[in-house]
Amino acid sequence: MRRAIAVPLSLALALTVAPPSPARDGDPDPPLDERYREAAGRIIGAAMTDREGWRKLSYLTTVIGHRLSGSPQLEEAIDWAFGEMRAEGLDNVHRQPVMVPHWVRGDEHAEIVSPRPRRLHVLGLGNAVGTPEGGVEAPVVVVRNFDQLEALGREGVAGKIVVYAVPWEGYGRTVQYRAAGPSRAAALGAVAALVRSATGHSLSTPHTGALRYDESQPKIPAAAITVEDAEWFKRMDELGREVVVRLSLGARMLADAPSANLIAEITGRELPEEVVVMGGHYDSWDVGQGAHDDGAACIAAWQALTLIKQLGLRPRRTLRVVLWTNEENGLAGGRAYRASIGEAIGDHVAAIEMDGGVERPIGFGFGLIDPRAEDGGGRRGAPPPGSDRRYEAAFATLQQIGRLLDGIEAGTIERGGGGADIGPLMRDGVPGLGLRTVGEHYFDWHHTDADTLDKVDPRNLRRAIALLGVMGYVLADAPERLVEPLPAGDAAAE
């Protein structure tokens, strides 16, 4: 495990504010890390001594709390931030209307009926249907993967509750059982599904998250169970012991509700029509406080914009912050933002998203999708090294900018990156960056009652503000775009 090294502010500034070497006639333009060293030093210095970002995050999480789409809390959070942004004098502060799903959890209860009664800790999966009145009581069938489920067939599954006691193989692999598991079980006649929480560490804490129903299959109730209970079910299965569960979930889906993306800018001084956008998703699940996921990111991007304005730095292009709505159970905010751009997608120079918690930041991952290519440029927009000239040139440019952040040990640029809300932009050719952290504990808290402010280190929030501020400002101000846009017509609006 890497240990964070405290860097005194004076040292960080010394590493970032040193004057660039003077250019001589006929020399090529100096690299961006020389050209922007002073501006980056000012942004880092302001971020690392900032207190307003922490005040904002504290208010958002403590006073307002969790912010599920369709809830009064999300709209209260939007109204509060709108007023604060206007008071700070940011440009073009406005709400972009979005209709969002309105799922309500309702009361939840689950228990082992036999062989010995006891309560189960559960969290209903987002967008799931509830149980019939009176709940569901049935024996369970335990599976460790989809192959085992299919091997049981309808004869082994029909009328039962499927328990996915799957191993932790990282979020990307394990979460597929939450997303698709209920419908896969329903196709074989299951009456409900219980899914091991997508985490590698648990203290009897269930993790919620959205499922995706297959519209060709019946919709069955589904909930997450703790790692401890998933392991217990697995051991009981290995011992050949039958287990009966009673499940009652009050979930229901209401009519779509009005919400909004919240947008603020510093208007570009020379090329205001060209945009660098950065942000996070403002909604959260209806448990915990949405501190790491994704309140801290929204506050970090917003505070970075505010500090840049307070420093009197006005970039060549427009630097925009968007607090996207409805990432958790619908992605309506990201789609609405892309739709609002239409055919002007070529004016978006870069998109930066932070949605991996606010542990100690280490840098950015970079993705570039070519919508003309069959595979879009490989996994997460990272083509094989050396195979894409546009990608390699942009990657080298980002490494120059990364050097501006070496003083706070956050200058790493990795291949592959982006995010769910900027995904629609990236699929039409906009370069995308995702802020990276050490990622040591994020999935311990992810989508749980434990995602609260006490898990956030204020120093890491300040580092995130610095990263977003430096990267956003330099990309918006650099003489050349990070990547030249595709020819007109190659990136059509959705």
Tokens 């980002």: give the residue.
398
Provide the edge-to-edge strand list for the sheet that holds 122-124: 118-120, 108-114, 244-249, 136-143, 161-164, 192-196, 222-225, 122-124
User: Given 75, 327, 328, 359, which residue is catalytic?
Assistant: 327
Burial of 147 (C-beta count, 10 Å sphere; 0-12/13-18/19+): exposed
Tally Cβ neighbours within 10 Å of residue 439: 13
**CA-based nearest residue to 199, from 191, 209, 212, 190:** 209
- Peptide bond connecting 115 to the previous residue in cis, omega within 30 degrees of 0: yes
Q: How far apart are the first and last CA of the chain?
A: 43
Q: Return d(Cα 486, Cα 491) in angstroms, integer.
A: 7
In the annotation, is 327 catalytic? yes
Q: Are 322 and 262 in contact (CB under 8 A)?
A: yes
Q: Return d(Cα 367, Cα 430) in angstroms, integer.
A: 9
What are 37's two structure tokens? 């060293």
Cβ neighbours of residue 362 closer than 8 Å, sequence gap 6 or more: 409, 410, 412, 436, 437, 438
Report which residue type is found at 199. T
Q: Return d(Cα 470, Cα 269) in angstroms, integer.
A: 18
| Crossing angle of the two packed helices 458-477 and 296-310, in degrees rounded to 10 | 60
Just list the catalytic residues.
327
